[in-house]
Structure 1
Amino acid sequence: MTHLKLLAMKFLLSLVILYIILGLGFDVSFGNVFLITLVLNVLSYALGDLMILSRSNNTVATSADFVLAFVVLYFMTDALTVGNDVFEASIYSAISLTIFEYFFHKSVARSLDREKKEKRENIKPSSELSMEASEEITPDENHTNDK
C-alpha cells in the first residue's frame, strides 16, 4: 500500500508541474501531458526511486532522475507535439521535476524505512521461539529391543 500511495502522490504532483510548464507554457495538450507524466512516473519510480535510491544516495538518484526525465520528456514531447521549443520545454520540465524529486526521495526513504521497521516489529523475538530436540543425539548401540 505504501508504494501505491507514493506513486499516486508522485503522479499528481508531476502532472501539476508538467501541465504548468508544458501545457500552459508551451501549449502541449492535457492528454499529451497526462501520457508523458504517466510514462515518466512509471519509469522513474521503478528505476530511480526503487532501484537506484535503495542502492545509493539521494544525490545519485536525483541525478539519474534528471537524465531520465530529460530523455523521456524530449523524445515524447518531440513525438507528440509540433512545437519548435522541444529542447527548451524539456530542460525546464526536467529541472523542475528534479527539484521535486529531491524532496520526494526523502519521503520515499522515510516511508520505506518505516515499512521495514514495521516488518521487523512483527517478527517474534528469538526468546519466544523454541526448538524441540530429544535427549539422545546418537542411537545407543548397547540398547537392544530383545528384552
Structure 2
Amino acid sequence: MDHVKALAIKGVMTLLFLYVVLTLGFGVSFLNVLIVTIVLGAVSYLLGDLYLLIKTTNSVAATADVGLTFIIVWLLGMALTGLGTGTMAGAAAISAVIIALGEYFFHIYVVYKRLAVKKRLKAYMY
C-alpha cells in the first residue's frame, strides 16, 4: 500500500509540473502530458527511486532523474506532439530541471518510508 501512495504522490507531482511546462508553456495537449507522466513515473520510480537511490545518494539519484526525464519527455514528446526537435528539447530540459527538484524531496520521503532500503542511511540527504 505504501508503494501505491508513493506512486500517487509522484504521479500528481509529475503531472502538475509537466502540465505547467508542456501544456501552458508549449501547448501540448493534456492527454499527451498524461501519457508522458505515466511512462515517466513508472520508469523513474523503478530505476531511480527503488534501484539507484539505494546504491547512491539522493543528489546522485536526483541528477540521474534530470537525464532520464529529459530523454523520456523529449523522445515521447516528439512522437506524440509533432513539435520540432529543438522546441521539444527545450521543453524537456525545463521539465527535467523542475521535476528533478521535486524528485530530490520525493527521495527523502521514499527513504523515510523505507520503500527503498538504504544501505547507507546517512547518505540519503546529500
Query: What CA RMSD, in Å, does the superposition of the two structures yield over aligned residues?
Result: 1.4
3-state secondary structure, aligned to 2:28: coil
- Mapped pair 1:93 → 2:87: no
Superposition pairs of residues 1-147 of structure 1, within 5 angstroms:
1-84=1-84, 85-112=87-114
Give the letter aligned to residue 89 of structure 1.
A
Structure 1 stretches (4+) deviating beyond 3 angstroms?
Answer: none
Bigger relative contact order, structure 1 or 2, given CA contacts below 8 A and separation 6+? Answer: 2
Q: Which has the higher helix share?
A: 2
Name the % identity: 41
Name the CA distance, whole Å, in 1 between partners of 2:82 and 2:23: 13
- The structure with the larger Rg is 1
Q: Deviations over 1:83-120 (max 9, x none)?
A: 2311110000001000100111011110117x97xxxx
Which deviations, in whole Å up to 9, do the C-alpha atoms of 1:26-75 show, x marking residues without a partner? 00000000000000000000000000001111011111111110000110
TM-score w.r.t. length of structure 1: 0.75
SS in 2 for 1:83: coil
Aligned match of 1:143: none
Aligned-residue offset at 1:11: 0.2
Runs of 5+ consecutive residues of structure 2 not aligned to the other structure: 118-126
Q: Secondary structure at 1:50's aligned position in 2?
A: helix
Q: Unpaired runs of 5+ in structure 1? A: 117-147
